[in-house]
Structure 1
């Protein structure tokens, strides 16, 4: 490579590039926008918990000026490191509050926050102020989100952790900590391998699973995971069969349809957010146990309901947390007579 390094967003190129210290200026392609970094960013605002956790995992707390969009607490491994981080908002911050932090980089987990119709603002607005931006590639690579919609969208190709590993390597290069990126990726793969061994040790026929995130109305159609999003990867990794065959990441599906599919396991999301009653795990469980349609589902009758952090069901480092939690639950279920 020449002194000016190019880091393009195509997955094939991601995999082939390596970075060394002081590889600047660095030109990076990300979700359709190419930007050149003359040096590592010093002040960052994160719009999305995944991006906050990724920087913490890379040892970059001192670069985080402020955070926003929180689904719940930090994982135990990052709780101490992330103590005292400034929060602009638990949900979407205002554009003015982001700019007031004088960031040189804004990291967003989702296009609907920083995108063509960004709830917070657009990348063009940030660029006009001399602020660079980054959207997690998992929210644009192999995914279609219309410019007129701020929804989750549909995936054209199944999500895999490869996309997260590529993001780890990319941000490690941008912040000039490539060794930390390599270390984090190795640790993630080791955890995945161990979870798979835990499940493989007690083989049985594929269990059917449904992943319930939340619902706009408790008695309405729940938002459950399609098989092309992060839960699809989680299920395949553990040998589970997702009963929802949809490319939409979180389609609304009737409970009658779910009950007819007879899932053996229901995975439900735990979050601090309270936009809807079904955001509460206790409310979810009570509904499953009392509703005349859901209470006869095998997973409910057998008590095979697994609670995982909401963050672990959207593309992020935390997908590995879900794999670990569910693999331990599976081992328990398989050990039962």
Structure 2
């Protein structure tokens, strides 16, 4: 059975299951325990500022673009299917917005994908700062469940990332905005597509292969930021069956090329993005480096062309994760 046929069969099965499952409407007031803060919603928020592309795209997937008055923190272009909604929403910052810029939109809810943006040490603002002004806050559970964001530059995982925290995010947003049916269908679609891709990976014996995931580097000559085993990217390749050659529990540790060369992964997975904070954000510079560096160029994955490029957001706890999984599995299939 082809990968395409497998995906189609899963889609048909999903469509059949959705006809018999109906979510209940939200009953307000609704209490949500979010990253240590109880939030009581008397009604669905009508004015939202979203800080983080991953979360913004989830709101668009739930058809909530008309609730957004501002967005910030973008890594790449919006998914085409959400462009019409996004074109109507002001982008108040490409990266980190100021507290005043968020408050100026008079939101009922400030929504973020990262606790370091809006949290105990939030660089945009702390939760009490927003709450004191009557603005509720919601942090994606993907960034706080099983994680201590007060330890380490990117936080420290106390438990390995679980995809269930993404489904929890979607489900809770469905409850908050009374979009529970849309949330149910979205989660089912994501699960169905991932199950199909994982089944194909098993056929390809991906569990006999290894991988390393390169996000970026502060400077080309410095050690790269690689996916650790406990973060979202580590969970993604583990779901496929690949063994991560980076054994650190950090989400994006720096790892020397000598260490990666010693592990000699079967596959190198590279992030592409529109952001240009670091030189290695540019995937073309990554590819040039791999060909020219005396250590990296000797990797079997480089010599054999076993390099897979996916979008940076496909490495994160986002709607795009399943697309990243499908791309990786397709690349493995083509190499067979």
Instruction: Give the TM-score of the pair, scaled to structure 2.
Output: 0.91
CA contact (8 A) 1:30 1:137 kept: yes
1:110 aligns with 2:103: no
Runs of 4+ in 1 over 3 A off after TM superposition: none
Decide whether aligned partners of structure 1 residues 218 and 204 sit closer, same or farther in structure 2, where only a CA change above 3 A counts.
closer
Distance 1:326 1:85 in 2: 33
Query: Cα deviations across residues 33-74 of structure 1 (Å, max 9, x unaligned)?
Result: 011000000011000001100000111111111100000012
1:127-166 to 2 correspondence within 5 Å?
127-146=131-150, 151-166=153-168
Contact 1:55 1:61 in 2 (8 A): yes
CA distance in 2, matches of 1:22, 1:154: 34
Q: Does 1:298 align with 2:300?
A: yes
- Aligned residue pairs total 315
Does residue 73 of structure 2 align to residue 69 of structure 1?
yes
Q: 1:99 to 1:326 in 2, by over 3 A?
A: same
- Tell me, what secondary structure is at the counterpart of 1:34? strand
Pick closer, same or farther for the CA change 1:327–1:103 going to 2, 3 Å.
Answer: same
- What are the residue-to-residue correspondences of 1:57-96 with 2, within 5 Å? 57-96=61-100
Q: Structure 2: how far apart are the matches of 1:321 and 1:181? A: 18
How large is the Cα RMSD of the aligned pairs?
Answer: 1.5
Distance in 2 of aligned mates of 1:321 and 1:159: 18
Distance 1:272 1:128, change over 3 A: same
Greater helix proportion: 2
Give, in whole Å, the separation in 1 of the partners of 2:183 and 2:206. 36
**Secondary structure at 1:35 match in 2:** strand
C-alpha deviation, 1:22, in angstroms: 4.0
> Secondary structure of 1:322's partner?
helix
Does residue 1:120 correspond to 2:131, yes or no?
A: no
Which residue is equivalent to 1:258? Answer: 260
C-alpha distance in 2, partners of 1:331/1:82? 35
TM-score, with normalisation over the residues of structure 1?
Answer: 0.90
1:220-273, Cα deviation, whole Å (9 max, x unpaired): 010101011111211121110000111110001111101111011111111111
Q: Give the alignment partner of residue 59 of structure 2, picking from 45, 55, 62.
A: 55
> In the alignment, what sits opposite 2:282?
280
Q: Secondary structure at the match of 1:283?
A: helix
Contact conserved, 1:19 with 1:173, CA < 8 A, in 2? Answer: no
| Runs of 5+ consecutive residues of structure 1 not aligned to the other structure | 1-17
* Counterpart secondary structure, 1:266: strand
Where does residue 21 of structure 1 map in the other structure?
25
Give 1:36-47 correspondences, 5 Å limit.
36-47=40-51
* Structure 2 gaps, min length 5: 1-21
Q: Are the aligned partners of 1:262 and 1:298 in contact in 2 as well (CA < 8 Å)?
A: yes
- For the residues of structure 2 that align with 1:69 and 1:236, how far apart are their CA atoms? 28
Q: Give a deviation string over 1:176-206, Cα, whole Å, max 9, x none.
A: 0110010000100111012123323333662
Q: Is this contact kept in 2: 1:164–1:315, CA < 8 A?
A: yes
Q: Which range is displaced more, 107-116 or 19-28?
A: 19-28
Structure 2 counterpart of 1:315, from 298, 317, 330: 317
CA distance, structure 2, for counterparts of residue 177 and residue 165 of structure 1: 14
